[in-house]
Structures are given as C-alpha cells and as structure tokens.
Structure 1
Amino acid sequence: MQRLVLLLSVAIAASAQGPAVAPAAPTTPTAPAAPAPAAGTTNITGVLAKAGQFNTFIRLLKSTGVAAQIDNQLNNSFGSGMTVFAPTDNAFTSLASGTLNSLSDSQKNALIQYHVLSTAIPMSQFDTVSNPLRTQAGSTSPAQYPLNVTAEGQQVNITTGVVNATVDNTLYTGDQLVVYQVNKVLLPMAIAGTAAPAPAPLAPTKTKGKTPTSTVADAPEAEASTDTSLAAPARVVTLTGGGVVAVVHVLALACVWWGP
C-alpha cells in the first residue's frame, strides 16, 4: 500500500513539471564573413560618362576593346597606374572630314592606345618627365608614336609631331588612374604623319625674245682682203661707213696692160 502511494506521488509530481525537454545540440562555430568588396571599382568609361562631352571617345574605347583592357589593368594588377588623355567631342569634330572613317580597325586601336600611358602621372610631375613618353601604342621612334609633354607653370602642352594640344582640365585623380581632358585628338606620326614634300619643280626657262630688226641694218664690217695673188683679175675692197657700203674695184696690174 505504501509503495502504491509512493508511485502515485512520483507520477503526479512528474505530470506537474510538464514534458521533458531534450538537451540542446552543440553549436558549431561559424566561419568569419568575407570582407565586402571595395566600393566602386575604377571604370574608365564611367569616369568619362560622369564628366560628359566625351561620347565619341567612349564609343571608340568600347569598339576597340581598349576600355576593357584599361579596366583589367587597373583592377587586376599592381602596376604603376595609368594616365588617360581624353579628347572632347569638339576635338573629334575638329578633325578633317572622314579622318576616322579612313582608319582601319588596327589604326583606330593604335589611335586610342596612343592616348594612354602605362603610369599614373599627377599634374605636378609633368615638368619632370623624360620625353618622349611611351604610350600603349608602342614605339617612340620619330616616325611612330612619340609623345612629348612639357609644363609651363599651370599649362601642360602635348606635342605629337602632327598636332599640338593642351591639357584643359583634370577629370579624375586616384591612386591608379589619372584622366585629363585635352582640347585636340592626339594624332601620331605613324597614322597621320605626312610624307616629306616633293622637291619643288624648277622654274621654266624664259625664252629670250629676238631683237627686232631695224629697218636699215648696219652691214657687218668686212675685213679688207689681204689676197695679193696676181692670178686674181681684181681685188675687192669693201669699205663701210655710216651705213653706206662702197665697193671699189681696183683693177689688178697685169702684164697684159703694162707690158714688159
């Protein structure tokens, strides 16, 4: 009887406490979260689009593949940065009619590469650079892709051998990229250089006019005959004086006349 009462007491107490709770599963430590990507990766066409008035240059950057090349070099390498000289839409409009259309695809690519340096050059360092600068177009030989940059105070001048341009504004400055606005399209010698001019033709020789003949021509002076031969029947002596010709016939002394 006492055991039954004890069992009932235990049962009543267990029911009052509610259902048993299973032990919590051990927690697994979580890996640290990956760092968030850097905000706003550099994009050359984005920089130019934000600045405005560079639609033609943006179109050429994309069509030649140079835009993707620049972005890859900036974001996937640890080089010395890049400098881009960006001509405005007005600069392209100022080109001779048909200039761009006359270029092949490889020439268009070289033209855009010619506006890109493989190093970032702040404005304050242009007065210390060594000319000619090497662009991504290639050789700096005089007939190829030389680029000379000089600074005079706050003005930066660019010479290609074909055109002279100036830097009008700084569009973007960063650790790896500097973008400048230029007032002309930088035409390299290899694409737009003109051949040496041909020698100038010789001036035609002037034909001297004939001296008009006078109405009364002076007779040429004749040399007096020195023939003393006795065989000649006569000696002719020509005398010239005052334009009147006098001819004196002197009969030769012959034996037939004077006799021995």
Structure 2
Amino acid sequence: MAKQAFFSLSLLLVFLFQCTTTSGQPAPAPKLPAVAPAGPATPGPPDVAKILQKIGGFTILIRLLKSTGVSDQLRGQLNDSNIRFTLFAANDNAFANLKAGTLNSLNNEEKVRLVQFHILPTYYTLQNFQTVSNPLRTQAGDNKPGDYPLNVTSMGNQVNISTGLVNATVSGTLYSNFQLAIYQVDKVLLPLDLFVQKVPSPAPALAPAPAIIKPKPKPKKTPIAASPKTSTTTATPTVVNSGADSLATHGILVPIGVAVFIAALSL
C-alpha cells in the first residue's frame, strides 16, 4: 500500500509541475497566412544603350544615342511589338579611326541624322541581307538616290555595307530577338548627305530678252513750195463748133428744142 501511495503522489507532483511550467510561458503567436511569392517581373522593351553598355566598348555610340534622344525614341517605339529595328553599331575603335574633328563638325540635328543612318526600320537577320533590294531605307531618310543611300550585299556569312563614302563589314551579332537586331560594324557609316559638300545646282538659264524693235524714223516732211498765184479770172474758151455751144458759153439758157432749131438754121 505504501508503494502505491508513493507512486500516486509522484504522479501528482509531476502533473502539478508540468502545469506550473506551461502556464509560465507566453502563448505562441498566431500563424499568419502564407504570402504567395511574387512572379517574375515582366520584361520591358529592349534598351539599346543598356545592351551596348553591358557588352562594353561602345562608349561614344552610347553617348550619341543618349545625347540625341534616339535611345529613348527607340525604347518608346519598341513598346509596340509590331515595330522592329536593325542597328549597325560601331565601337570606340571605329570612331577613333575617323578624321579628327569629324563629329565636332556636325550640329545637333546632323548628329541625330548620323545615328539614325545606322538604324533600319525593319528587323533583318544575316540571312535576310542576301535578298534585300538596295538601297535600303534608314531612319535618317528614304532610299532615294543621293539622299541617304545604304547598300548591303551578302556573300555567305559575310555582310558588306556601302554608303558611297564608306565600305564597312558586319563583324558579328551583338543582340537579336524578334524585335531588335544589333550588328557590330568595323567602321562608322558616314552618309554622303552629311560629309560630302553638295555642289549647288546651276541656276536655270534665263530666257533671252525680246529684241527691241526700234521704230523707223518718220520721213521729214519737205515743205511744198507755194505755187505762183494765178489770176482768179479764168478765160472762157471760145467754142465755135455749134451755135448751141456758143449760146451755152455765153450763159444764155434756151430750151432744147429751140437750141436744135437754131443749130439747124446755122447749117
């Protein structure tokens, strides 16, 4: 009996100790509902300046893209998935090979044109260049001869570009997706319109002035010599052919019948 009583007392003490220990601890904080992890951020349109900056070696081109506003313009247009571009990117070595003062000779508008001349408003793969129709249209202008002509020829994997002033070669693909293709070129593409002095067109020939017809001088009037005065008394000729005539000469008026009769008597 004593053992059972001791065992029961031990259980009671353990129970009381457990209750005391549990009541002294702070209640656990309620569990918050689990938060779903955020999905991946939707990528925006390609940023040409950031792409070139990540590749490296295009400091001058990046500066031109930003200072002219072309970089922001491209990014804004690429928001529309139906708009696509191809960019020919010249690295810093290509710009260093330009004649000293080439860029400084351009005003702000001409720098915009220079950058736009490196951009085609169409997406081209390297294989597409084998079937293009030259000259290609650029962002700087249309494809009319003498404006901003850009001719691209392709043989195998080699793509050559001619501006009429510069012959360049595509040396590699820097970036390509369904909207934007960026190809590295070994020379800066210089358009004729900016770097060749235009010869002013000759002025249209003036029509010959009409010949001035001088009026013929009027002949001088020669004064007519006054005729000598004649007597106002005119001698009356004497007619002796017939008596009737004689009567008429002297102013004698006779009837016709009488005149005939007198003429018969005179015979």
If the TM-score is normalised by the length of the shorter chain, which range does it land in?
Answer: 0.5 to 0.7
- Aligned match for 1:66, one of 66, 70, 84: 70
SS at 2:127's partner residue?
helix
| 2:59 aligned with 1:48 | no
Alignment of 1:117-132 (within 5 A): 117-132=120-135
Partner secondary structure for residue 181 of structure 1: strand
Please say if residues 142 and 189 of structure 1, whose CA atoms lie closer than 8 Å, have aligned partners that are also in contact. no
Say whether the 8 Å CA contact 1:143–1:193 is kept in structure 2.
no
Of 158, 161, 165 in structure 2, the residue corresponding to residue 158 of structure 1 is 161
Structure 1 residue 67, shift from structure 2 partner = 0.2
Q: How far, CA to CA, are the matches of 1:151 and 1:184 in structure 2?
A: 17
The residue aligned with 2:61 is 57
Q: Determine if the alignment matches structure 1 residue 178 to structure 2 residue 185.
A: no
Query: Following the alignment from structure 2 to structure 1, what is the Cα–Cα distance between the partners of residues 197 and 39?
Result: 55
Aligned partner of 2:194 in structure 1 is 191
Tell me, in whole angstroms, the C-alpha distance in 1 between the residues paired with 2:96 and 2:90.
10
Give 1 or 2 for the bigger CA radius of gyration: 2
Report how many aligned residue pairs link the two structures. 164
Higher helix share: 2
Tell me, in whole angstroms, the C-alpha distance in 1 between the residues paired with 2:149 and 2:133: 12
Query: Quick one: distance in 2 between partners of 1:147 and 1:41?
Result: 27
CA deviation string 1:66-92 (max 9, x = no partner): 000111111x21324110000010110
- In the TM superposition, what is the alpha-carbon distance from 1:142 to its structure 2 partner? 2.5
Which runs of no fewer than 5 residues in structure 2 stay unpaired? 1-37, 200-267
Structure 2 partner of 1:234: none
Q: Distance in 2 between matches of 1:53 and 1:79?
A: 30
1:81 counterpart letter in structure 2: R
Question: What's the CA shift for 1:140?
Answer: 2.1
Q: 1:143: how far off?
A: 2.0
AA in 2 matched with 1:139: D
CA contact (8 A) 1:55 1:89 kept: yes
Are the equivalent residues in 2 in contact too, given 1:42–1:71 (CA < 8 A)?
yes
Instruction: Tell me by how many angstroms 1:38 deviates.
Output: 1.7
Whole-Å Cα distance in 1 between the matches of residues 82 and 74 of structure 2? 12
Deviating beyond 4 angstroms after TM superposition, the runs of 4 or more aligned structure 1 residues are 34-37
Report the RMSD for the aligned CA atoms in angstroms: 2.0
Cα distance, 1:165 vs. partner?
Answer: 0.3
Unaligned runs of 5+ in 1: 1-33, 197-260
* Distance in 1, Cα, partners of 2:112 & 2:76: 17
- Pick the aligned partner of 1:140 from 137, 140, 143: 143
1:88 aligns with 2:94: no
Q: What is the Cα deviation at residue 138 of structure 1?
A: 0.9
What is the distance in 1 between the residues matched to 2:39 and 2:120? 32
* Residue 39 of structure 1, aligned match among 43, 58, 63: 43
SS at match of 1:47: helix
Q: Cα deviations across residues 138-162 of structure 1 (Å, max 9, x unaligned)?
A: 1322221011101011100000011
Are the aligned partners of 1:149 and 1:157 in contact in 2 as well (CA < 8 Å)?
yes
In structure 2, the partner of 1:98 is: 101
Counterparts of 1:84 and 1:49 in 2: how far apart (Å)?
15
What TM-score do the two structures reach when normalised by structure 2? 0.58
Give the TM-score normalised by the residue count of structure 1: 0.60
User: For the residues of structure 1 that align with 2:162 and 2:88, how far apart are their CA atoms?
Assistant: 12
Give the fraction of aligned pairs with identical amino acids, expressed as a percent.
Answer: 51
How far apart, CA to CA, are the structure 1 residues paired with 2:114 and 2:82?
A: 23
